[in-house]
Amino acid sequence: MNKKKAIFLDRDGTINIDKGYLYKKEDFEFEIDAIKALKRLSDLGYTLIIVTNQSGIGRGYYTKTDLDILNNHMCKILLKEQIKIEKIYHCPHHPTKGIGKFKMECECRKPNPGMIVEGIKEFNIDKKNSYMVGDKISDVLAGISAGVNAILLGNKNEIRLEKEIKDKISIFENLNEFSMELYNKEKK
């Protein structure tokens, strides 16, 4: 079976506007040109997989059902544009602020690579030709650890990067800018 190329995507701050512990579908708003970018990436043949820290579940702010309702809402909008999100992995844990079974160190919470590693196995992903795209340093650290190309969105984050990390990632203003660059690279 041929390996697939994938884009692993953070959700909040990458696909949608990060409003902090977002769980109500009526509060959901896509980032500017995110739908256009996702369509471009999909049309290039990438499997789209979301990997998102959701410690709001572990902190008791909302439930997994709330998260599922919001994610289904987002996916329905994207499907109308012929964009399929193959799977959404989420981590409900937090090492210090989680409640009960959610208070733990885990392999899935970014910057750990657990969700990406699981996606690589489940969907037979070619790491060399795949990307982790996110707006936080924890996103790119997870991508680097998982062995995929790491993309950081938002130049404001660049100043906090150590040199050895800067050398391993690419930085773009937003998801649309990254998607255009990848499109131009692949269509040459």
Instruction: Tell whether 147 is covered by a domain.
Output: yes
Tell whether the model's pLDDT for residue 157 goes beyond 90: no
Position 25 in a domain: yes
Return phi, psi of residue 133, to 5°.
Answer: -120, 125
Bridge-based pairing state of the strands 6-9 and 169-172? unpaired
pLDDT band with cut points at 50, 70 and 90 for residue 47:
very high
**Predicted pLDDT at 67:** 98
Catalytic entry in 12, 33, 139, 167: 12
Within a domain: 47: yes
Give the mean pLDDT of 182-188: 90
pLDDT at 160: 65
Q: Is residue 69 part of a domain?
A: yes
Structure tokens at 72: 């289904």
Lowest mean pLDDT among 63-67, 153-157, 184-188: 153-157
CA 176 to chain centre: 14
Structural domains of the chain, count: 1
- Residue tagged active-site, from 10, 43, 68, 135: 10
Note down the domain range covering 13: 6-162+171-186
Q: If you write DSSP's letter for every residue of 70-136 in order, what string do you get?
A: HHHHHHHHHHHTT--EEEEEEE--BTTT--GGGBS--SSSTTS-HHHHHHHHHHTB-GGG-EEEESS
Give the side-chain half-sphere CA count within 13 A for 137.
Answer: 11
- Is 1 domain-assigned? no
CA geometry: angle at 24 spanning 114 and 47, to 5°? 40
* 167 included as an active-site residue: no
16 lies in some domain: yes
Question: Would 81 be classed as within a structural domain?
Answer: yes
1 burial type by CB count under 10 A (0-12 exposed, 13-18 middle, 19+ buried):
exposed
- The CA-CA-CA angle for residues 33, 137, 161, to 5°, reads 115
Mean pLDDT of the chain: 94
The answer to the question of residue 23 being in a domain is: yes
- The rounded distance, in Å, linking the Cα atoms of 51 and 11 is 7
For the chain, first and last CA: distance in Å? 27
**Domain of 56: which CATH number?**
3.40.50.1000
State the pLDDT confidence band at 166, using cuts at 50, 70 and 90: confident
